Amino acid sequence: MQTTLTELPGSRVKIEASLDAKDLRPHLDHAAVHYAENLRIPGFRTGRAPAQVVIQRVGYAAVLEEAVRHSVFGWYNAALLDAGVVDPIGAPDLEMLDLGGPGEPVQFTVEVGVRPTATLGEYKNLEVPRADSTPPEAVVSARVEELRETHSTLIVVERPVALGDHVLVDYRVFNADGGCLGDYSDELIEVVPGSVGAELIEAIVGAAAGEERVVEVPGSDADDENPEALEDAAPVEGAQDQVEDPAGADRFAHPESGGDAADPEAGEATAVDRVEPGRIVVVVKEVRERVLPELDDDFAADNSEFETVAALRAGIVAEIAAEAADRVEQLFQTAVVEAATENAQVVVPDELGRARAEEILENTLDSLAQIGIDRQRYLASRQQTREEMIEEMVEGAVASLRRDATLTAVAEAEAIDVGEEELLAKLVSDAAGADSKADLDPQLAAKHAKRAKKALAALRKSGHDIMLVDRVRGEKAVELLVASAKSVPMAADESAAELWSPSD
């Protein structure tokens, strides 16, 4: 295929492409075979006539039209790659100019949006704040409390139920008509928001041992799968470090489940397809309070590698700081790229930003569909129309285009090249996934390397290697920016906000 690329205003390009007779032949043969499947030709079984015989029988123009219909999308992609377009944006405008006759080339043009260009400002030696990985006192104290809770015990108390308690209950589940769906005994639940339905929590708080409470549960619309509402109906996770639970169960059935929570084949007791309202009659049998061990040197020595509480806290500080180190580097890298992008001049036409937002949404919906999530039900769960979601994504799409344009300009300004070994290393890294190459055993490393060479050869044969090159060039541009940047201390409150959420 021969292509000529012309840049157009508004970050668009026009590609004039010509597919010669040699490149066209396989597509004609494929189209002829397709025709032959339903064509009776004397002397040949149905579907067995040679391509040339089919072309003579139905005419070159008819077979060529069939070839175009089946192959035009592939020709479009091939034209993009041949012209060096690695990031097309939006739907293309494709026009067939001349189908030609036997032995003549097929000519067509494509107009499509492309990554915008950037005029660089200052991008080296940028001063960028770096977060401090030293955790705030509140985060350290929370980690200490987690350790205490791990070694806590539950004791029976003679008082009404309070938030934070565990309660041992018997309960019966009824549907709206009063039919009993299940009778359960000795279920241990934790009385905290989110552990079971909000109605149940509200009903049993304040109840004493031996007291019965009735929980009215409203119905839910099967077409309105609000994730937050469904989360309230999620089964209680297994309670840990509890006193003996005779039933050994940690489920609490929802009245609309229509199944036995104790039956593993019945599925979770709180499946998402709830439609019937109902009620739960629950009897509180015991109230259990969590008792934390005393935080002293004995606790530290018995439950950690440290001999004192002071040493334990220092060790936790170091552990949290180490956990935050990767996040600190990630934030710094992002801030450096954002600073370089902010200094650059990049014009992103409105239609380009919207087209990229549409692509992001479609990719998201396609990915969800692959795991069985219907796109319409997903949109309904978000309580947004497709148009509203696109509008919400435009700002991020524009920011992404500006960032990519800046990195492309940096790679060109610095004449960043990508060698064979770097491409192979990237393919090996992708194949290894989360495994570090240094952690791979020699046999596994050799296996990944062999596959990478085959993958690179296949990419080059199809022309898709330019996309891998573009990706690695972008990553090297980021590395260059980060290496030249100068870090300045970030304020403690800003560091805390960046690294730790209030719940931490």
Tokens of 383: 């309580």
Res. 379: pLDDT tops 90:
no
pLDDT of residue 435: 52
pLDDT of residue 33: 80
Together in a domain, 281 and 330: no
Pick the most confident of 21-25, 99-103, 183-187.
Answer: 183-187
Together in a domain, 492 and 351: yes
Return the percentage of the chain with pLDDT > 90, whole number.
49
Domain assignment present for residue 48? The answer is yes
β-pair type (166-175, 180-190): antiparallel
Query: Residue 320: which pLDDT band, with cuts at 50, 70 and 90?
Result: very high
Together in a domain, 181 and 101: no
Res. 337: pLDDT tops 90:
yes
Res. 325: pLDDT tops 60:
yes
Res. 242: pLDDT tops 50:
no
93 in Cβ contact with 110 (< 8 Å)? yes
**The domain spanning residue 467 has which CATH number?**
1.10.3120.10
Domain assignment present for residue 234? The answer is yes
Q: Which residues make Cβ contacts (< 8 Å) with residue 184, sequence separation at least 6?
A: 170, 171, 172, 173, 247, 249, 253, 261, 262
Give the domain range for residue 459. 326-499
Query: Residue 440: which pLDDT band, with cuts at 50, 70 and 90?
Result: low
Between 51 and 386, the more confident residue is 386
pLDDT of residue 439: 57
pLDDT of residue 401: 96
Angle at 475 between CA 92 and CA 339, to 5 degrees: 90
219 in Cβ contact with 274 (< 8 Å)? yes
Global pTM reads 0.71
Residue 9 neighbours by CB distance under 10 Å: 6
Res. 214: pLDDT tops 50:
yes
265 in Cβ contact with 188 (< 8 Å)? no
Residue type, 70: H
Together in a domain, 355 and 486: yes
Tokens of 356: 């990229």
Q: How far is CA 341 from CA 44, 187, 400, 406, in A?
A: 65, 56, 10, 6
Reduced 3-state DSSP string for 173-234: EEECCCCEEEEEEEEEEECCECCECHHHHHHHCCCCCCCEEEEEECCCCCCCCCHHHHHHCC
Residue 251 neighbours by CB distance under 10 Å: 20
Together in a domain, 331 and 287: no
Together in a domain, 347 and 470: yes
Domain assignment present for residue 342? The answer is yes
Radius of gyration of the chain (CA): 32
Q: Which residues make Cβ contacts (< 8 Å) with residue 51, sequence separation at least 6?
A: 28, 29, 32, 33, 36
The number of domains in the chain is 3
Give the domain-ending residue among 63, 96, 114. 114
Domain assignment present for residue 148? The answer is no
Pick the most confident of 369-378, 402-411, 433-442.
Answer: 402-411
Query: Residue 182: which pLDDT band, with cuts at 50, 70 and 90?
Result: confident
Together in a domain, 348 and 484: yes
Query: Residue 54: which pLDDT band, with cuts at 50, 70 and 90?
Result: confident
Together in a domain, 406 and 482: yes
Start-to-end C-alpha separation, the chain? 58
Please report the sign of the dihedral spanned by the C-alpha atoms of residue 399, residue 400, residue 404, residue 410. Answer: positive
Together in a domain, 282 and 330: no
Return the percentage of the chain with pLDDT > 70, whole number.
86
How many CA within 13 A on the CB side of residue 294? 3
Q: How far is CA 89 from CA 11, 20, 99, 251, 309, in A?
A: 10, 27, 27, 49, 58
Based on the number of CB atoms within 10 Å of its own CB, is 300 exposed (0-12), middle (13-18) or buried (19 or more)? buried
Domain assignment present for residue 105? The answer is yes
Q: Name which of 4-8, 203-207, 384-388, 443-447 the model is least confident about.
A: 443-447
Taking residues 475-481, report their average pLDDT. Answer: 97
35 in Cβ contact with 63 (< 8 Å)? yes
**The domain spanning residue 97 has which CATH number?**
3.30.70.1050
Of the candidates 360, 339, 468, which has an alpha carbon nearest to the alpha carbon of residue 403?
A: 339
- Give the separation between CA 445 and CA 480, rounded to whole angstroms: 28
Together in a domain, 278 and 213: yes
Together in a domain, 273 and 346: no
Res. 199: pLDDT tops 90:
no
Res. 44: pLDDT tops 80:
no
- Give the separation between CA 355 and CA 110, rounded to whole angstroms: 17
Domain assignment present for residue 75? The answer is yes
Domain assignment present for residue 132? The answer is no
Together in a domain, 108 and 228: no
- Give the separation between CA 290 and CA 188, rounded to whole angstroms: 13
> Which tens digits make up the pLDDT trace of 80-131?
888 888 899 998 898 887 777 888 888 889 899 999 999 999 999 999 999 9
pLDDT of residue 47: 67
Res. 37: pLDDT tops 90:
no
Res. 6: pLDDT tops 80:
yes
> 3-state DSSP: the chain helix, strand, coil percent, rounded to 5?
50, 20, 35
**The domain spanning residue 195 has which CATH number?**
3.10.50.30
Taking residues 194-219, report their average pLDDT. Answer: 86
Per DSSP (E only), the strands in 99-197 are 106-113, 118-119, 127-130, 153-157, 166-175, 180-190
Res. 59: pLDDT tops 90:
no
Between 216 and 314, the more confident residue is 314
Return mean pLDDT, the chain. Answer: 83
Based on the number of CB atoms within 10 Å of its own CB, is 436 exposed (0-12), middle (13-18) or buried (19 or more)? exposed
Q: Which residues make Cβ contacts (< 8 Å) with residue 41, sequence separation at least 6?
A: 49, 53, 54, 57
Domain assignment present for residue 302? The answer is no
Q: Which residues make Cβ contacts (< 8 Å) with residue 284, sequence separation at least 6?
A: 161, 167, 168, 169, 204, 207, 208, 209, 210, 211, 212, 213
Query: Residue 230: which pLDDT band, with cuts at 50, 70 and 90?
Result: very low
pLDDT of residue 467: 93
